[in-house]
Amino acid sequence: MMKVFARGIAFDGKHGVYEEERRDGRHFEVDVEVTLSDASSADSDELDETLDYRHLAEIVVEVAQGPSRFLVEKLAGEVLRLVLERHGQVEEVCVEVRKIAPDVAGSPQWVGARLTRRRSG
């Protein structure tokens, strides 16, 4: 088993429930981690025997630039769905979406959601 990940994929987007978030936009960061059952690339040193982490980052950017979403949970779900749909070698995927939240009580640095799903079947 092998883990491949891309962390801190950053973008500005007009996602959120509140009008000012959708109007002004917010800064987001996303982490994606996948589990692959085949770890042969650790011996072979061949890119075609693993999942290129650039593909994970490209999916995040595609979702980020897509339709505006109300919830970070929906953004995470879309990334997760596309990773599983496009990369059959992925056994499990975990996506965390963080939104900078200066207008939230207590001034948290980030708010967000983490979603993990195993391939069914």
Q: What are the catalytic residues?
A: 99
Answer for the pair 102, 78: CB distance below 8 angstroms, yes or no: no
Alpha-carbon gap, residue 90 to 108, rounded angstroms: 33
Strands across the sheet with 110-118, in order? 2-13, 26-36, 90-100, 110-118
